[in-house]
Structures are given as structure tokens and as C-alpha cells.
Structure 1
Amino acid sequence: MHVSTSGIRRVLTRATASAAVIALAAVLGAAVTAGPATAAPAASAAPAASGTLQQVSGFGSNPGNLTMYEYAPANLPAGAPLVVALHGCTQTASDYYADSGWQKYADLWGFAVVFPQTGTANNILSCFSWFDSGKDTRGQGEAASVASMVGHAESQYGSDTHRVFVTGLSAGGGLAADLLADYPDVFAGGAVDSGLPAQCATTQAAASGCQSASQNLTPAQWGAKARASDPGYGGPWPRVAIWQGTSDTTVAPVNATELRDQWTDVWGIGQTPSSTATLTGGTTQTIYNDGSGKPAVELYQVSGMGHGLAVDPGSGTAQCGTAGAYFLQSICSTYYTGLFWGLDAAGTGGGGTTPPGVPSGLTVGTVTSSSVGLSWGAVSGAGSYAVYRNGTKVGSTSGTSYTDTGLAAATRYTYTVTAVNQAGESAASAAVTATTASGSTPPPAQCFTGSNYSHVTAGRAHDVGGVAYANGSGQSMGLDNVFYSHTLEETSPGYYVLADSGCPAAVR
């Protein structure tokens, strides 16, 4: 890849610029050093954070040469959760603290946040080294430094060691995925925003390939990479949220599919969605439940969004962040990640409000052999709604509708909904029941028209040797690029057939 000196200078002058330069970092990488690590402004050493971002020195072993910053609300009680938030390339801990929204929810829901920071002494563009096996593996380099920070913060705040989470953007997202694989005994969950699968690359030379194209690995092969990061560990596994813009040209959207494949395989739950929902900002939420019906992996695909962290500036409970370079206005990903991890649980936030009222008007809409559509009335003061199937939570949404998918045909299900805000969760709504249609009657056809590349990145097809094949049917679609287009019909969850001559296809 050719990059001009003037181009590098323009990138480095953008204080909040993130990982659009991650590919450049993979080329220049750790082989280049350029002076001391960048320090975040307005931070000072202190034994404990108290409502401001503060630097911590002497946090323990630091083989990765990282700097530790932390934030916690004043008077945080013992037993609160702990979140680790990793910035993107050319950013600092201060940038991520100011723009990502994590400070807002630390105050609202009551938890501490650690903001690790790398700098130019490690990488000329201040990227975390997600691609370096000497720095991103258990007990080594940056991964070990972050683990030291977690241990220090747990001791300092009396944190609940069963509720420690890690999230990151771009290069920080790649390291977050590595940390989830390296330390599944430390992290209960994670979120990878515009990032890469765990151990996708183990050298700088391989990093660009991970960013730009499918690695053509099976879910089992991806899962094996994660499991090999901590050999002998048998669970429980972290719960993982994956965020990706469909128009990301820096980290190809196929990385989100590969992350989904990796962590559903680690959980042993397959790649068939348990439910889907449409959220604000053109976001599709796809949920993969564990054996008990609890979400284990959640995939959020933001239509039209490029490379960055999804934010939604505003004062609403479900709004957060500051829009700017690589903080892209669409939806508050931090809010939904916090919901997924359960950080909004009653009693953790204070907040000075009361739980919302009980939702009313729960109604069954469209029912097929594998899905049930639901809608209900809005509740004043609710930040989100939780949907329960047969008494088990199956998803969350900020809207007043939800489609539960991946169901068995000709089966009766019972649903309730609760309203949620920072003070807690309401009682359940009145229950409704729905019986899915018989499998002998095909559901209404659902068709998708687009380029082969868009089908692969959306999870409707897969790439083998540069050729796209429809998921399920395995029908060849031609070269995996934007110049070949087809219409695919989803005849059953995850099963697609060519329907160029019309939808539904002639043979179903």
C-alpha cells in the first residue's frame, strides 16, 4: 500500500481520528517508534477516581508500556461492575472518555471505567497491537498490561469480579476480541466495534488481509483460534456484542460475520438467529441465544455507516456520545451494549428516578412458521423494552415492536414485555400467546437484491476462493465483488436460493 508523507501528516493532525489509518498502522506498526507515549489532557495521579478522568500510576506489571486512566462516579459502592474501554488509532483515553458515552452510563447505572492508552512509543499511530502475537496474547505485552489494570481497579473499587467487561473501537476492538479469548476467566462479556476476530492476524504482514477481505475460515476454525488463546479453559464464555457499519471501507463488514461465526462456535450454538429486531439509526439487531435462551452473541449492523463508533448525541436515556471523526451519528451503541451486559439492572445506578410503568396493549402481529411479530404501547420514561418468551428474556429494543425469529413450526409461545430505565425494570405486561404456522405452509417470501459482495457481508452468502455461494443452498453466484448482482430468497432462516427470475423463486 502506498501512502504519501503529506497524507500521513493530514491524518496525524486530526486529534480524534481513529482507525481509518489502521491499515497504515499495520504496515508501519510496532517496528517504528517515535518518542514518548501520548498523554491525555487534564488527567492527574490519584488513588481513586471521583467523578473525573484520572491517571493511575503503579497499577502493576506493564509489559505493554500502556498508560492507565480511569473514571468512576463519586461514592461508587463496592460490588459495582467494571468496564474496560479501548480507544482507536490516533486517539487517546481522553478522546474516548469524552466522545463514546461511557461516562454517561457510568454515572447513570453506577460502574467504573478503565481507559487504557497506548501511544507513539508503541506504534506511530497509537494503535493497539491486535495483530502482534507477542503483545496480544495471554500474559504478554499489551494484553498483560490491561489485565494488570483490571486487577488494580477491582482491588481499588471492590468491583464485582463476575461483572467485568471490555469494549473497543477498531484496533481497540481487535484487542478487545483478543482479550476476550485470552482472559475468558476475567471478562464476563465484551463488545467489538468495527473490529476484527480474535487472533485473525498474528503478524503485521497478515493484518491488512484481515481488514479487507474474508479469511475463508469455517466457524469451527474461527472458534478454535479463540479457544487456543487460553488452552484448557472450558467456560463459562464471555457474551459478545458485535457492531459494524455496512459501508465500512477500512474494516470490511465481513469481519462482523466472522466475529459472529467465531463466538457462536465458541458457545456451541450455531449461526441460526434466535431473533431479529429493527432499531433506530437503520440498525438491525440479530440475537443468538445460548442453550438456556439467554442472548450469548448479538450482532448489530448499521446500514450505511462507515468506519467508527456509533453514537447518538442527545439527552435521552438511549442517546449518547459526541459526533465527530470516527464517532458516527446513528445509534448509541454504548447504550445497547450496556443493556446486553445487564449494566442497567435495578439498584446499580441510583439516578434519582423510579422504574417505568407496565407496558400495555401487547399485540401479536404477523406470524409465520418460524417467527412472531409483536407490538405494544409506549411507556413514558422507558429507555428500552425487554421481550420475554415463555418467561425467558429473548431480546431488548428501544422501539415498541419486535420480531422473534428462529422458532419451531406449529408451536405455541407465550410473550410478555417489560419497560426498562436506569432505575430498574417494570413488572411484566399482560401475556399474549401465538402459535406459529405449520411448516408445510411456506412463509411469505423475503427477497434481497444486491451485489455479491453485499450478500456476503450481510451473511446471506459466503466466499470460497473468491466466488460467492448462497448460504444454505450453496448455489454459485459468481465472483465475490460489487460488479455481480443477484436476488436471493430466504426460504427458511439462514437458507437462501437464487431468485433472479422473480420472488418467490419458481422452485421452493
Structure 2
Amino acid sequence: MARSYRTRRPRSSLSRLLSAAAGALALAAGLLTAAVQPASAASLTQVTSFGSNPGNLAMYEYAPAGLPAGRPLVVALHGCTQSASDYHGHSGWAQFADQWGFAVVYPQTNSSNNSLSCFRWFDTAQSTRGHGEALSVKQMVDKAVAQYGSDTSRVYVTGLSAGGGQAANLLADYPDVFAGGAIDSGLPAQCATSSSGTNACQYNSSGLGLTPQQWGDKVRNSYPGYAGPWPRVAIWQGTADYTVRPVNGDELRDQWTDVWGIGQTASSTQSLPGGTTLSTYNGPDSTPAVELYSISGMGHGLAVAPGSGTGQCGSTGAYFLDYVCSTYYTATFWGLDGSGGGSGGGGSALPAPTGLTVTGTTDTTATLGWSAVGGAASYDVYRDGARVGTTTSTGFTDTGLSAGTSYHYTVTAVDSAGAEGALSSAVTATTTGYVAQCYTANNYQQVADGRAHTSGGYTYADGSNQNMGLYNLFVTHTLKETSPGYYVISDSGC
């Protein structure tokens, strides 16, 4: 257990200091003295242009190589004093993106927006539909969907602490965008609408005293006239959280069960690792609509479970606490593993094919092989994210390729009902042969660029030594490079 990272009850003097500096907006980060250690963020890429960005946020993204179109998209919001890199490195989202095949967007705020780099969940200018940070995140979703061809019916949002509060707001603001959400140590949607209301939301152990309908109205009023479908919501809360009191988990449960039109009595409960109790609230179709995960003894942070076993993920650090892999259970609740979702992450999705290798190439073909998956009726093969074939065997030859070109391949197993399982790791195949290139320029430039040489005032193509005429600016030719360093005159066409 990462007990050194657990929070303690804030002193009154510290609360007053935070109120003066940032309206007690820090949630977890400002109340801990431990500094967030930068995490490795391999392949995390910044996108510098994604819209008008009224919330002044930065956009970072991660996707496995060769990700096919039509895959899910997850938006993950960090906590106070954290960064996109911290969340990417510790939370485990990249691990499951690779394993199950989806893209992740990490919005990042900064100290110019808030002194502790908290998302502004309490500011209606930043947390409502069509405004501020909320609109910036929506623009990031639009950018990523266009870039990856993501399935717009499978876009999800999650967040920790202030990021969790903003994630709840985004679910209320854009239920037409997000199919599901997860709030980790966060606040109900529109719990506070100004900085003066943050203390009551965070620290009041008895809550705000609102009824489930009043909580639900805060969601319904965020997008007036919208009547569903509503997002599926996972709520994660530690019982020893003194920064965002445990009652917030109950209020979130009340809020989203009311939105769904279901009662606040759990349909089922079960025990999970790390002292976690899962209470499930089924929707009208008897499938889980809201899930509340209560973690005994956990303070303020995101629950992780380092290791290589099934259901393990992440690494410990400030606000990343060793109890249970919340990311795994959240992802399976949403059905990102191909199971369709359900209580406790159950499901029978086919696993990703293993052992994908390139067994041969020519100048126009690439041949692949992989290990069989039990229960698979067939396999879908993807090249650079687009499906190029289906086969019932564990091998495939892709044809019609260009010589001397690299292609990325992934494979999924398909069950007898036609449902795809998890995406395999990607491999790269490079065809043989040389890709001829053509260059049109005057003789002077051809020599200057190293494709020709001069002798006795004339110009000659490198390799073929074909005479190109006088060495001057007024004679132009097209040279075709047929092999490295070998050029021929191709003025009639290349």
C-alpha cells in the first residue's frame, strides 16, 4: 500500500491560505507536500492546433501504431499540480490502449489558468456547454475523431480530483458526445458554480443536503431539452479521503441514478481487490448504468495496482495509490475490452492475437503470421488502420503494395457472431525494391543537388553518364533515380 501518499485532514490555516490563493480549488494536489514526479511518456504527442481553445488548454494524445478506424476514444483529465505526462505515465490508460486498441487524449491545464494547475470545475465560464475548458475539450474530441476515425458512439471521459469534477461537468454538458464517464475522487456535476462554493463541496462531510432529483436537475439543466441516452458512469471514492469527502461519491451516485431514472438501492454488490466494494445500479434494460467503487482506507488519488497480472496496471506516485487498478475496471465497465461492459469488468471478449510477425515480403506483397486464438471464427487484418482482409487461417498475404515502402499491420480475432476482439500489437513490413523518384530542374541545380556532374562545360547524369547538355541555368531536364545514385534522363515522363 502506498500509505506515504495518503492525505490527512487539512489544517484550518492551510484552508484559509488556499482560499486566499485559489479559492480552495486544489482538491488533492495543493494539500500534499509531496511533489509530483515526472513520469515517462513514451509516444505521447502534443497537438498544437485543434480549435479556438477558449479554455487555454494543451492537447496531448496517445494511440497504438496501426490503430484501425472505428475504435473508441478516451479523454483523461489529470489532477491539480499534475500534467498530461504524469497521468499518461502512471494511470495505466496507455497499457490498455495498446492491449484493446483505442486512442487517448490528455487535456492539460496550466498555472496561468489556475495557480495549482487545477481544471476549473467550479467556474461556469469554464465548465458549461459551449464555453471555456469544456468547449476546448470538445474541440479536442472533434480533432481526435477526425484524426483517428474514432467511433463517435464510443467516446468516454475520465478524470482525477479537479479533473474528475470537470469530467462530471463534461458528461452533463455533452451527453450527446460521451457514452460513458468515470469520476475518480471527484465532485458531482455543477456542485459549485463559483470559487466560494468549493469548500462546501470538498470538505463538508455531510454533503450539501440535496435530494437525488435536485442533483439530477443539475445535469439536466446543463443541456436543456436533452432527453437521452445518458452516459454510463463509474464513480471511484476512497473512504479516508479528507480532500474530497466520501459523501461526494454518494452524491454522484444520487445524481446519475436520478438522471437515469433508477433508484438509489444497488442492484448488486461485490468485493474487488484492494478492499474495494462495487455497488452496481442497473438501468431500465437491466444492464449496469452507474457503478460506485468504494475503496476502504484509501485517501485522495487514483487507485492503481502495479504488476503484470490480469487487472493490474499503473505505477505509484503522488495521487497514484496502490489498491486496485481503477483503469481496468473502468475500461471493462465501458466495454473497451470488447465485452460490451458490465459489473466488475466481466465479459468473454476474444483476446488479442499474439505472435504477429512478418514472414516474408516482395516488392508488392507482405505476408503475416500469428498464433491462433481459441474461439475465433476468423481474423481481420488491418494495414495502417484500414481493414484489408479477413481470413480463417493464421496467416495472410497483403498484395498490391508499393516497392520499398513500410506498412503497419494489426490483427483482431472475430467470434462466430462477427464481433471483434482486442487488437494485436502492431508490426511493420517493408516491401523490397527501390521506389524510383523523379527530379525536374535546370542543369545547374541538378549538379548542385548531387544528381549530375560536369565535364568540359557539359552536364552528365550521375550513374548513367547521359549527356544533359550545357552546364547552365537555361537547360532543364527530368532525372529519374532508378536505384540509389543512378539517374537517367526521363523528360518524356516519369
TM category, shorter: 0.5 to 0.7
Residues 84 and 165 of structure 1 are in contact (CA less than 8 Å); yes or no, is this contact kept in structure 2? Answer: yes
Shift of 1:21: 3.7
Change (3 A) 1:78 1:222: same
Residues 91 and 302 of structure 2 are in contact (CA less than 8 Å); yes or no, is this contact kept in structure 1? Answer: yes
Residues 286 and 299 of structure 1 are in contact (CA less than 8 Å); yes or no, is this contact kept in structure 2? Answer: yes
Q: Paired residue for 2:28? A: 20
Q: Map of 1:449-488 to 2, 5 A cutoff?
A: none
Structure 1, unmatched stretches of 5+, are 9-17, 25-37, 44-50, 358-420, 425-508
Change (3 A) 1:354 1:87: farther
Q: Paired residue for 2:55? A: 64
Match of 1:3 among 14, 17, 20: 14
Match of 1:200 among 186, 191, 195: 191
Shift of 1:325: 1.1
Q: Paired residue for 1:83? A: 74
Say yes or no: does 1:328 pair with 2:330: no
Match of 1:93 among 79, 84, 89: 84
Shift of 1:42: 8.2
Question: Aligned to 2:292, what secondary structure does the other structure show?
Answer: strand
Match of 2:352 among 350, 353, 359: 350
Change (3 A) 1:161 1:271: same
Residues 254 and 264 of structure 2 are in contact (CA less than 8 Å); yes or no, is this contact kept in structure 1? Answer: yes
Q: Map of 1:369-448 to 2, 5 A cutoff?
A: 423=422
Residues 44 and 60 of structure 2 are in contact (CA less than 8 Å); yes or no, is this contact kept in structure 1? Answer: yes
Match of 1:314 among 307, 324, 330: 307
Q: Paired residue for 2:172? A: 181
Shift of 1:20: 2.1
Q: Paired residue for 1:223? A: 216
C-alpha distance after superposition, 1:176-210 (max 9, x if no partner): 00000000000000000000000000000001110
Q: Map of 1:291-310 to 2, 5 A cutoff?
A: 291-310=284-303
Shift of 1:3: 3.1
C-alpha distance after superposition, 1:7-42 (max 9, x if no partner): 99xxxxxxxxx8424679xxxxxxxxxxxxx9x898
Shift of 1:316: 1.2
Q: Paired residue for 2:261? A: 268
Say yes or no: does 1:117 pair with 2:71: no
Larger radius of gyration: 2
Residues 19 and 308 of structure 1 are in contact (CA less than 8 Å); yes or no, is this contact kept in structure 2? Answer: no
Query: One-letter code of the match for 2:320?
Result: F
Residues 288 and 297 of structure 1 are in contact (CA less than 8 Å); yes or no, is this contact kept in structure 2? Answer: yes
TM-score (norm 1): 0.62
C-alpha distance after superposition, 1:198-231 (max 9, x if no partner): 0000000001110011000000000000110000
Shift of 1:344: 0.3
Partner Cα separation in structure 2 for residue 298 and residue 354 of structure 1: 35
Q: Paired residue for 2:247? A: 254
Shift of 1:126: 0.3
Change (3 A) 1:69 1:252: same
Residues 109 and 348 of structure 1 are in contact (CA less than 8 Å); yes or no, is this contact kept in structure 2? Answer: no
Q: Paired residue for 2:358? A: none
Query: One-letter code of the match for 1:166?
Result: V
Residues 110 and 348 of structure 1 are in contact (CA less than 8 Å); yes or no, is this contact kept in structure 2? Answer: no
Paired residues, number? 332
C-alpha distance after superposition, 1:247-287 (max 9, x if no partner): 00100000000000000000001101111100010000000
Query: One-letter code of the match for 1:292?
Result: D
Residues 107 and 349 of structure 1 are in contact (CA less than 8 Å); yes or no, is this contact kept in structure 2? Answer: no
Q: Paired residue for 2:330? A: 337
Percent identity over paired residues: 65
Residues 23 and 211 of structure 1 are in contact (CA less than 8 Å); yes or no, is this contact kept in structure 2? Answer: no
Query: One-letter code of the match for 2:54?
Result: P
Query: One-letter code of the match for 2:28?
Result: A
C-alpha distance after superposition, 1:308-361 (max 9, x if no partner): 00000001120001111110000000000001000000689735287679xxxx
Residues 275 and 295 of structure 2 are in contact (CA less than 8 Å); yes or no, is this contact kept in structure 1? Answer: yes
Partner Cα separation in structure 2 for residue 4 and residue 212 of structure 1: 10
Partner Cα separation in structure 2 for residue 229 and residue 76 of structure 1: 34
Change (3 A) 1:222 1:42: same
Runs (4+) off by over 4 Å: 40-43, 346-349, 353-357, 421-424
Change (3 A) 1:356 1:239: farther
C-alpha distance after superposition, 1:388-420 (max 9, x if no partner): xxxxxxxxxxxxxxxxxxxxxxxxxxxxxxxxx
Residues 110 and 350 of structure 1 are in contact (CA less than 8 Å); yes or no, is this contact kept in structure 2? Answer: no
Question: Aligned to 1:135, what secondary structure does the other structure show?
Answer: helix
TM-score (norm 2): 0.64
Residues 108 and 351 of structure 1 are in contact (CA less than 8 Å); yes or no, is this contact kept in structure 2? Answer: no
Query: One-letter code of the match for 1:286?
Result: S
Question: Aligned to 2:126, what secondary structure does the other structure show?
Answer: coil
Say yes or no: does 1:243 pair with 2:236: yes
Q: Paired residue for 1:428? A: none
Partner Cα separation in structure 2 for residue 135 and residue 258 of structure 1: 22
